[in-house]
Structure 1
Amino acid sequence: MDGAARGGHLEVVKFLHDHRREGCSYLAMDYAAAEGHLDVVRFLHSRRNEGCSPWAMNSAAGGGHLNIVKFLHENRSEGCTERAIDRAAGGGYLSIVKFLHQNRAEGCTAEAMDAAACFGHLEVVKFLHFNRREGCSQSAMGAAARCGHLDVVKWLHDHRYEGCSTDAMDGAAWFGHLDVLHFLKENRVEGCTRRAVRDALIGGHVEVARWLAENYPQCRISGVEL
């Protein structure tokens, strides 16, 4: 039954419930919630007593299933953990982040803004900044730079105090985000390491490696002509 619930096979779940004695575990509802099968969650809630774990709401939030998050909040007592907002933020599900912020007390961690920044969800970053106190870490700007989200890098630079480390420019170089490198050079002081030139070359970004060598001579690789 756990497997059928995970796959969203409501008729199979019903059949097993009516004709078999093995039953299921709390994982049935957890899995159904994670995969977005609200009809299965409803059935298990009304006809079974195994319940679920906080992982159900956490995973529903991370999967973007607002309807299930609401159902679990309104009908179940297991609740969620900080991971619910963290995961919803990383997925860019602003409506879920807002719902959990307004209706739950578990809060989130700095991982929420870090993850939102990493995946380029600027509106989520803004919401967390203006409505939560957990903030972020230097990984937020570093990950945004590595993934090429220049708008997020700029916003974090303008509105947050955590800053970044050399990982930001190193990561941007690795993936060839020259526009991000230009911004970091003009607006930040952390610079890069010799790894930036090496990783740019590994990534096939010769133009980026050349730019880095010209602007950060200390990062040049001995014996490599650019």
Structure 2
Amino acid sequence: MVAARVLGSRDLLPLVSAYQRGTPQEVLELRELLDGIDLAGLHALLLAADETYPAKCFAAFAAFHKRVSPASLLRVAFTRSRAAAVYYALVHGNLSVVRGMRTSSRAAISNSQWIIAATFGHFHVIEYLHRHDWANYDPRAMKAAAMRGNLAMVVYLEDLGYWSPHVLRWACTAGQLHVAEFANDRETTRSLGAGTINDVVRSGNFPVLRFLHENDYDGFSDEAVDIAAARGDVATVRFLNDKRRLRGTRNAMLGAVDHNHVEIVRYLDKHCRANDIAGSLRRAAACGHLELVTYFCSHYEGETLLVGALEAARRSLRVVASRTQRERLEAVIAHLQRLRPTPPADDAACTIQ
């Protein structure tokens, strides 16, 4: 009876034949390719939700994928290279190898089989894991699907009972508006937090930010304006000002000055009362931003402002090495010196007879 099962199995029969003949050279070469793959490095990218992870996986397994056949893959999967073979199978959706996954293989890939399968959108693998490996489900599988924008996988995992209250946050920070809209229908509160809003602003995904505002989520703060200003994101700065009445802190203008965002500086100067004009002028002078220095000096007067800006530019000039930056600083210094009032001529020296 056992022999009949072996002979009737498409998976086991080639393996038995291979053992009878000894390890083929092809399998040895395939194992060598697998053994050279940095699984730990790929796993680190996976856990970090690095956007390059899928491409890095395909690149890592490219040579192996080009040479391997279904039969040789099964043979390799029953060697000491099993962990890498299982990882490959999860990346490429090869269910035959995944079915033979053992506890040792799961441990070797840090029990990340759910996350990998969800990342690459392999529904048939997820279905198998749900039936046979449900105890090892990892919520990061849903996170991977949400952050990759795979709405179909998000819906499928929800149907299987693996919904997470963090889906909206994951989708928003990754800029996946369609997933965020799906998750929004399942939210019972409008509490999202400043951290998520700030991450959305930091990523520059304006449609997601507008969506969160229109659905009355909390978490909007002056810090979001500061972040948008430093990025030079005029649309977001205007939006937060107009729709949320947020003006930012003094760091908004300072951040815009650091990155030479002239339009942002002009806007904040008109709409924000928390600006540090003296500090911003000094920062602009120290950075060699002549256009900003000219702007500040044309709108604000004062010997103290000019002296502070001159000192800041001269300090930078003493330590900077770049020729281009030195030329910018010299131009700023020359401009500021022209603006300083000419001191009155000294009286003629008195000669004591």
Is 1:96 aligned with 2:179?
Answer: yes
Question: Given the superposition, is the C-alpha separation of residues 209 and 178 from structure 1 closer, same or farther in structure 2, using an over 3 Å criterion?
Answer: same
Coordinate RMSD, CA, aligned? 3.2
- Alignment correspondent of 1:127: 211
TM-fit CA distance, 1:184: 0.9
Q: 1:53 to 1:19 in 2, by over 3 A?
A: closer
Structure-2 residue corresponding to 1:191:
275
The answer to which of 195-204 and 135-144 deviates more is 195-204
Distance between the aligned counterparts of 1:109 and 1:199, measured in 2?
32
Aligned to 2:142: 57
CA distance in 1, matches of 2:177, 2:223: 21
Matches within 5 A, 1:1-226: 4=87, 8-11=91-94, 14-18=96-100, 20=102, 22-24=104-106, 26-33=111-118, 35-39=119-123, 40-77=125-162, 79-82=163-166, 84-105=167-188, 108-192=192-276, 196-197=280-281, 200=284, 205-212=289-296, 214-215=298-299, 218=305, 220-223=308-311, 224=313, 225=333, 226=336
Q: How far did residue 63 of structure 1 move? A: 2.8
2:134 aligned counterpart, secondary structure: coil
Query: Match for 1:70: what amino acid?
Result: V
In structure 2, relative to structure 1, the CA distance for the partners of 1:14 and 1:134 (3 Å cut) is farther
Confirm or deny: 8 A CA contact 1:178 1:208 kept in the other structure: yes
Identity of aligned pairs, percent?
A: 23
SS of residue paired to 1:22: helix
Higher RCO (C-alpha under 8 Å, 6+ residues apart):
1
The residue identity in structure 1 corresponding to 2:157 is L
Moved more, 45-54 or 89-98: 45-54
Q: Distance in 1 between matches of 2:267 and 2:144?
A: 36
Matched residues, number: 222
Could you say which structure has the larger radius of gyration? 2
Tell me how far 1:182 sits from its aligned partner.
1.0
Q: Which whole-Å CA distance do the structure 2 matches of 1:199 and 1:31 have between them?
A: 47
Per the normalisation by structure 2, the TM-score is 0.54
Q: Distance in 1 between the 2:294 and 2:227 partners?
A: 23
Q: CA deviation at 1:16?
A: 4.6
Aligned to 2:172, the other structure's residue is in SS state helix
TM-score (norm 1): 0.79
Where do 5+ consecutive residues of structure 2 fail to align? 1-82, 314-332, 337-353
